Structure 1
Amino acid sequence: MHGLIVGGIFVLVGLLNAYPAIGMLGAKQLAGLYGLTFTDTNLLTLMQHRAVMLGLVGAFLIVAAFRRELQLAAFVLGFASMLSFVVFARLQDDPSRWISKVAVADVAGSGLLFVALVLYWLRG
């Protein structure tokens, strides 16, 4: 039973991480995600690359839901991805409401991932 819950959490957190991958489609999609305009093509390139990386993180978490041997690495990657964003957002003097929403989502995702980690250890 614990294995099913852990897997389900990996899928949920993976989808949460993969959602911003729509930003790879362009400035309009990124504006919808972050409430910013991306007129600087260099910034647009960086943010599109970020979207691809988040999609890869999400995909790895989803694959780990079905491959126990990948789950420890998925825990590390998931926590590192989400909690680093939370830390960077908290270091800002006045983050936008969009950034704050992403940080809250990452805190929630990290909380779910922590529950999965506890269940992972309990099942041995």
Structure 2
Amino acid sequence: MIQIVIGIIFVLAGLLNAYPAIGMLGAKQLNSLYGLDFTEANLLTLMQHRAVMLGLIGLFLIVAAFRRELQPAGFTLGFASMLSFVVFARVQGDPSPWISRVATADIAGSALLAVALVLYWLRA
């Protein structure tokens, strides 16, 4: 039962991380995610690459839901991905409502992963 709960949490965290992958489709999708203008080509390239990387992290977390041996790496990637964004958003001082929304989602995702980590340790 514990492994099922851990798996569900990994899938949820994976979907949360993978959702921004829609940004790889272009500036319009990135604007819908972050509320910013991505008409400058270099910024668009960087953000599309970020979208791909988040999609890969999300995919890894979903796979880790079904592969116990990948879960330690999944915890590391998930926490690093989500908490680094939260830290960067807070360090900047006054994030926009869009960025605050992303940070809040990442805090929720990190809290879920923390529950899974506790369950993982208890199961061992």
TM range (shorter): over 0.9
1:17-47 per-residue CA deviation (whole Å, 9 max, x = no partner) reads 0000000000000000000011110000000
Runs of 4+ in 1 over 3 A off after TM superposition: none
1:80 aligns with: 80
SS of the aligned residue for 2:66 comes to coil
Question: How far, CA to CA, are the matches of 1:38 and 1:72 in structure 2?
Answer: 35
**TM-score w.r.t. length of structure 2:** 0.99
Shift of 1:92: 1.1
Name the CA distance, whole Å, in 1 between partners of 2:47 and 2:3: 35
What are structure 1's unaligned runs of at least 5 residues? none
1:30 correspondence with 2:30: yes
Within-5 A mapping of 1:107-118: 107-118=107-118
Equivalent runs, 1:49-64 vs 2, <5 Å: 49-64=49-64
CA distance in 2, matches of 1:40, 1:93: 24
RMSD across aligned positions (CA): 0.4
**SS of aligned partner of 1:65:** helix
Aligned residues: 124
Deviation of 1:2 after TM superposition, in Å, equals 0.3
Once the 2 structures are TM-superposed, how far is the Cα of residue 54 of structure 1 from its aligned partner?
A: 0.2
**Secondary structure class of the residue paired with 1:89:** helix
- Report the identity percentage: 79
2:26 counterpart of 1:21: no
Q: Which residue of 1 aligns with 2:68?
A: 68
